[in-house]
Structures are given as structure tokens and as C-alpha cells.
Amino acid sequence: MTRMDNVLGERRTSGVSLEAVSKWFGNVKVLHDIDLDIQSGEFVVFVGPSGCGKSTLLRLIAGLEEVTEGEIRIGGRDVTDADPSNRGIAMVFQTYALYPHMSVAENMGFGLKVAGRPKQEIAGKVAAAADVLRLTDYLDRRPGQLSGGQRQRVAIGRAIVRDPDVFLFDEPLSNLDAELRVEMRIEIARLHQSLGNTMIYVTHDQTEAMTLADKIVVLRGGRIEQVGSPTTLYDDPDNLFVAGFIGSPKMNFLPAEVREGAIRVGGHPLPDPGLAARLAEGTRLQVGIRPEHLRPAEPGEPAMPLTAQFAEFLGGTTYLYGIVGEGLDCVMEVDRSVDTKQGNQLNVTAAPDDIRCFGEDGLRIR
Amino acid sequence: MPDTSSKAPAAVATPRPRRRRRRSADWEGLLYVLPAAALVIVFFMIPLGMTIWMSLHKWPLMGKPRWIGLDNYSRLLGDSDFWNALGFTVQYTLAATAGLLGVALILALMVERPARGVAFYRTAYFLPVVTGFASASLLWAWLSNVDSGLFSPLAQTIGLTSEPVNILATFGPAFWSVTIMVVWKMAGFHMVILMSGLQSIPADYIEAARIDGAKAHQRFRYITLPLVRRPFALALILCVSGSMLAFDQFYIILSGGPQNQTVTAVYHIFNESFVSFRLGYGAALSVVLLAILLVLSAIQLRLLRDRGETR
């Protein structure tokens, strides 16, 4: 915290708000009327499959792409048509985009240099940021002589030295190996904690989104599917897409039908999930149950039969892959006491609160 | 290792065929470079050797060559015509290189990014390159003709000058006229080299610099220019060595005039060798010019050396 104070003169951070932002590339509309409010100091993650428009949205906020319709405000100021340098932002690119012909120190101090700041001030800020990011020994190296993780830290350092109101990260960890990715993820979380700035982070990896975010924005096909905290999205997804995208392994989706007053999967009744409205007899729906919520049923409980196929032992937990009814794939988390031999039959069920229902249109039935 | 082979025959038996295979691969490689090597040897190494050999002789067109050792070279030191020609060549090289690379860089920046009609402009700028130097020079000589050309009558018609002006009659206009012709003819070539360099700069760098707050001229100065250094070095070396060897344009347009002030080094060599038929002396001049070019190229390569960055 105190070390960071050397880097940042005074603490100012700003929220970001988007109002009916649309983006066209030629005749293709890639973002549809995006409305979004990001509070000051929040860590927001844009997540979604590739091509969902999350990177484009970030680039609109950065000012690297022009907004076709709508308005972007940073810290209450309309920056829709402002130059990237006048938005109070700093960005970390997926490729790091470190200038290959400059040393680490020159890379980090470039923004201050072109702003005509005195050399001493630049050196001071670069040294402070390098200290925070453990780059002091590498200041004279060129990016080409650094490892992936070090380059990543230089890119973050370059952003810190600019002392921005808002940090933008565009899939910053996707070029790192798995182990380093976890390490850097923690480092970024720590950075957010100590800087307290607004951070917007784009990723396609839902684990990164879940672990880093205060608020997750799930995008698909240029539209926001749902906005909420990781727990909200996990516990209370608005639709099939969000339910399937968040959580690992994925939520099980089982086609079901209402018959004789109960929701039945393959004819087997499930516990009543307590929906607000009673579903009409014969309604078809999708039932979503997370693997960690399925458990072996007590005798007499409403349950579905599951035939074990194979199991993944991960140390702390085991995932049992099986088939429910007639050929519906289903995964459940089990403890070691459960016999996971192939062909073994289990009766499984879940607590009523852990059963999510989705209509045929993919929307949640609450 | 005769005794180990008897103890462990299997261990020794395996490397042997592999080594043989590698040796045959070496010969195969040599076979592949043979055509290129033959071209270099026949058209460069042998003529170079012959030139050096000739430069050590008094070598008239007819009659027997006579060995005179380094006499040609010592005579060359006092040959003020050659040094004047070399001085003029350097002057021309400076003007042509600055003009060519400057114009080429501007053209390259204009047509670098894909946009509507860019292909047309790229082609248009490159078109003069495919005309021969001699034909371009002839065209220019005609355009510059004081009576039947374009420039002088045009200037008169639009009232720029009151009477015909022969731009080829005085050194200044004549020199700049030829230089402009060369820039018109060759800028497209260097444009292509620089354009490929510009296009290989990832857009990320420029975007990162925009976010860093660098203005357009700062992005150009600190990001673009350093990153096109390698293609720029190539263009510079081609430009300098090409200009140092200038001959056709001055021979065809100006015939070395006015008052022999536009005789280049190669033009002088041509005069010595094929007008005065002092072939040995001409060869000595050629060797000296080659040495000068070698030194120039080495200096440029050193100045523009890559300082070990990788992306």
C-alpha cells in the first residue's frame, strides 16, 4: 500500500457508464444497445465465447474503436469521441504490445516521456512501479529477453506508471502457461486490492472471471446476457447460456416434462423446486442441476436413476460421469464412499433449492 | 576405437550409417547451391579477378598488355578528373538518396493501409520503376528539350517565363532535373520496401502508443521509424550503391555537360576504358570505386545494426 503510494500521486478513480452503445463494422452489427454501469473501484470482467464482442466493447471504452451509436462516460465525463490518451485509461494488451526496440524502463516510461515530463520524475515512477512488480533487475533488458510472465508484468507496469483512473485488460493471461496464469491472476487481484482503481478485464475463461470479478458481464452475440456478482451468476442465472457458461464442470441440463403435478426427467419425478407459478401439465422444460448439487438419494426420496460410466478422481473430489434415463449425459460430484465402477446404478437427487428450471426459450422459470 | 568396437558392436554399429547419411546430405546441399554459386563465380568472382588482374597492367585495346604493378593506382591518386567525378557522384548520391527515401517514405505511409483505391495508387507509384533507365532518360531528355520538349514551352505558355529557358544548359537546373527524374523513376521501388516494413509493425504497438498519449508525430518518431529500421537500411544501401554507380541518366540526358560538370565516377571510368581505351587504368578506377562502395555499405550496416531485439 505504501509502496503503491509512491507510484500514484493521489487516489482518484472513476466509474464507467455505457448508454445504448452499438457498434457496426460495415454492415455487421457487433454490439447491440449495450447499457452498463461500472462503479468506481469495481473489478468488472467481460466474459463470453469468442466473437461475442467483449474485446470490441473494451476497445470502445479505450477509444481504439469508434462508437457507432450511444455514449460512454468515464468519471461522469462524456468521452465518446475523446482520444484514447484523454480518457484516463491504461490498457494491457493480449500480446503485451511492448515496444521491442525499447528497454523495460523505456517501455514503462514512454507515456510520461511523450507527455514531456522531467526525466527525474519518469525515473522515479518507473522505479517505484518496477519495485512493486519485482522488475527492478530487468529495467535495462529488452522485451525480447524476458519470459512471458515478466513481459506481462512490464505491460502492467506500463499501465501503472500512467496512473490511470481505469485499467483495461484485454485477455492478458491467455498467452501464459497454466501455472503462470494462476500466479498472474493472483497478482492482478492483489494489484486491484492495493490500487483500488476501476478495472475492466476481458477473458473467455470463466474461472478467471469468477476468481477476479466483483461483477461479471456475460456477453453473447453482441448482447449482454446477464450482469452480476460471481455468486449471483452462479446461484441465480437468468438463462440457459449463463447457467452453462459459469461453473466448471458445466451445469447438467436435463430435458423434463410436467406430468401428474411433478417435474419429471425421463419419467422420474424430481423434488418440487418451489416455482412461483405452477407449471401447466405437459409443459416441456430444461432442468439444470450443478454436478456439486447432485447427491445419492435416500430411500423413498424422489430421484433419478444414474448409470455410472467413468470417474475422474481429482484428489479432493471425484466427478462421476454417467447416464440418466435414456442417454442423457450427467456429471455429479461424489465422495470416495460412492462406488463409481462402470455400470453401477445410483439413485440421485438434489435439494429443491438447487434445481433450476428453464423454459424452451432458454429463459429461467423462477 | 578398435577394441571397444569388438566389445560393444551394437553401440558402434548404429552411428556409422547415420554418419554416412549426413555426409551424403552435405553433398546434396552443395548440389542445391551449385547453380547459384556457379552464377556468382562466373558473373562476379571471375570478372572481379580479371578486373584486378587488368588493373595491374597497361592494357591497350590492341597490342600486348604490359605488367606495370601498382602504377595505375599511383597515377589515379593524382587524377583530378577522377576525384572531381567522385566528388560530383557523392553530391548526386546525397541529393538522390535524400529525395528518394523521403519521397518513398511518404508514399509508403500513404498507401500502407488497405483502403479504397489504394491498389491503384500503389501500381501508379510503382509503374515508373518498370521502365528502363535508358528509356526514362530519353523521355526526360525530350521533355527537357528547350524547343520541342514540355517544360520550357509549357513554362512560357502559362507565362512563368518570358523566353525559352534551357534547363540543361546550366549546372544547377540540369543537376536537379536529373535528380528529380531519378526520384520519379525509383521512388516506387523503395516505397515497396518501406511499405512492407510498415505493414509488418503490429497494430498493437501503435494502439499502445496512442493510449500512452503519443501524438501522431511522436508515434512516427518513437515507434514507426525505429521499427522500420531494417527495411530502411536495405533501401538506404540499395539507394546509395545505386546512386554511386549512376551513369545512364547523365550520359543520355546531359552527356556529362554542361562543361563536363556532371561526369560521374562510372562515367569517368567509361571514358577512360571505352573512349580512351585505357582498359588497365579503367579497371584500377573500378577497383577503387568497388572498395569505396564496400566501405560505405559496411558503415551503413553498422550504423543501422539491429541491436538484438526480438518481438
| pLDDT tens sequence across A67-122 | 999 999 998 889 999 999 888 899 999 999 999 999 999 999 999 999 899 999 99
Helix (H, G, I), strand (E, B) or coil at A2: helix
pLDDT of residue A170: 92
Say if B267 falls within a structural domain.
Answer: yes
Q: What are the domain boundaries of chain A?
A: 249-365
Residue B113 pLDDT class (50, 70, 90 cuts): confident
**Interchain CB contact of A115 with B (< 8 Å):** yes
Say if B106 falls within a structural domain.
Answer: yes
Is A162 in Cβ contact with B207 (below 8 Å)?
no
Which chain A residues are Cβ-neighbours of B204 within 8 angstroms? 93, 95, 97
- Alpha-carbon distance of A139 to A145, in angstroms, equals 11
Number of domains in chain B: 1
Is B309 in Cβ contact with A101 (below 8 Å)?
yes
Query: Which contacts qualify for B14-17: CB closer than 8 Å, 24 or more apart?
Result: none
pLDDT of residue A31: 93
User: Does pLDDT of A127 surpass 80?
Assistant: yes
Nearest by CB: A100 against B213, B222, B311: B311
pLDDT of residue A281: 86
Closest Cα of chain B to A101: distance in Å? 6
User: Does pLDDT of B130 surpass 50?
Assistant: yes
User: Does pLDDT of A15 surpass 60?
Assistant: yes
**Interchain CB contact of A110 with B (< 8 Å):** yes
- Calculate the average pLDDT of chain A: 89
Least Cα distance to A219 among A25, A33, A84, A16 occurs for A33
**Interchain CB contact of B18 with A (< 8 Å):** no
What are the φ and ψ backbone dihedral angles of A169, each rounded to 5 degrees?
-120, 125
Which grid cell sits at A292?
456439486
Give the pLDDT confidence of A130-188 residue by residue, as tens digits. Answer: 988 889 999 999 999 998 889 989 999 999 998 888 999 999 888 888 888 898 899 89
Strand order in the sheet with A28-38: A28-38, A16-25, A69-74, A77-78
**Interchain CB contact of B205 with A (< 8 Å):** yes
- Alpha-carbon distance of A152 to B82, in angstroms, equals 59
List B67's β-bridge partners, or say none. B57
Say if B182 falls within a structural domain.
Answer: yes
Q: Which residue of B has its CA nearest to A110?
A: B212
Give the pLDDT confidence of B227-276 residue by residue, as tens digits. Answer: 988 888 889 999 999 999 999 889 998 888 788 888 999 999 999 989 98
Say if B147 falls within a structural domain.
Answer: yes
Which chain A residues are Cβ-neighbours of B309 within 8 angstroms? 100-101, 142-144
pLDDT of residue B10: 45
Average pLDDT of the residues in B289-300 = 91
Topology of the domain comprising A249-365: OB fold (Dihydrolipoamide Acetyltransferase, E2P) (2.40.50)
pLDDT of residue B309: 45
Is A111 in Cβ contact with B310 (below 8 Å)?
no
Give the pLDDT confidence of A248-294 residue by residue, as tens digits. Answer: 889 999 999 998 888 888 888 888 888 888 888 888 999 999 999 99
Total count of residues recorded for chain B: 311
Rg (CA), chain A: 25
Say if B220 falls within a structural domain.
Answer: yes
User: Does pLDDT of B18 surpass 80?
Assistant: no
pLDDT of residue B20: 58
* CATH for B115: 1.10.3720.10
Query: Could you please report the per-residue DSSP string of B221-275?
Result: IIIIHHHTHHHHHHHHHHHHHHHHT--HHIIIIITT-STTTT--HHHHHHIIIII
Which chain A residues are Cβ-neighbours of B205 within 8 angstroms? 97, 99
Say if B143 falls within a structural domain.
Answer: yes
Closest Cα of chain B to A100: distance in Å? 6
Q: Which residue of B has its CA nearest to A141?
A: B309
Least Cα distance to A45 among A190, A178, A221, A168 occurs for A168
pLDDT of residue B255: 85
Instruction: Provide the whole-model pTM.
Output: 0.77
Quote the domain boundaries for residue B141.
81-303
The better pLDDT of the pair A328, B11 is held by A328
**Interchain CB contact of A143 with B (< 8 Å):** yes
Is B207 in Cβ contact with A93 (below 8 Å)?
yes
Helix (H, G, I), strand (E, B) or coil at B95: helix
